[in-house]
């Protein structure tokens, strides 16, 4: 029976080796499953962080777009106000605009664009014509201007 003992010995050694390999495989499989679980947790955390970043970026982009629109609107309003200011200055300083200036000034004062009374007289020391009134009234020069135009045209006799 020595052959049978050798056969049993060899079978037991093979079985022992297979059990060892099985344990190693199970240990490696368990380690791989643990590693896989850790990676899944990391992936979920990174996905959560990315979702937060995405939300923050969308909020930032929406806010930025809103501010760009507001900036463009304000620039448009500033340009319109600059044009209106230039027109207003031209109307108040140009003595040859005629009745349009007077009606334009009346419209502006009716619309709420009244000039604040200033402590300094218009035109430096005196008024616009050198009069000493200097109340800052942009229409104070009007009667003298009409008389000057009439004299120039020879209508005043």
Whole-Å CA distances, 63 to 43, 69, 74, 78: 30, 10, 16, 22
Q: Is the pTM for the entire model greater than 0.75?
A: no
| pLDDT score for 45 | 98
The predicted structure's pLDDT at residue 56? 94
Q: Is 91 exposed, middle or buried (0-12, 13-18, 19+ CB in 10 A)?
A: middle
Question: How high is the mean pLDDT in each 10-residue block of the chain (157 residues)?
Answer: 77 94 95 97 98 95 94 95 91 64 54 46 45 54 72 66
Q: Distance between CA 104 and CA 111 in Å, rounded?
A: 10
């Amino acid at each position: 029976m020595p052959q049978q003992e050798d056969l049993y010995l060899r079978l037991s050694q093979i079985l022992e080796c297979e059990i060892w390999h099985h344990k190693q495989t199970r240990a490696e499989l368990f380690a791989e499953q643990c590693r896989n679980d850790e990676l899944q947790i990391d992936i979920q955390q990174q996905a959560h962080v990315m979702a937060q970043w995405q939300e923050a970026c969308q909020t930032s982009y929406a806010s930025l777009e809103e501010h760009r629109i507001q900036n463009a609107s304000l620039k448009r309003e500033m340009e319109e106000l600059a044009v209106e200011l230039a027109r207003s200055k031209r109307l108040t300083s140009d003595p040859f605009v005629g009745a349009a200036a007077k009606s334009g000034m009346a419209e502006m004062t009716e619309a709420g664009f009244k000039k604040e009374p200033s402590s300094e007289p218009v035109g430096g020391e005196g008024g616009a014509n050198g009069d000493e009134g200097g109340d800052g009234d942009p229409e104070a020069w009007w009667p003298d201007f009409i008389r000057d135009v009439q004299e120039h045209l020879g209508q005043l006799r």
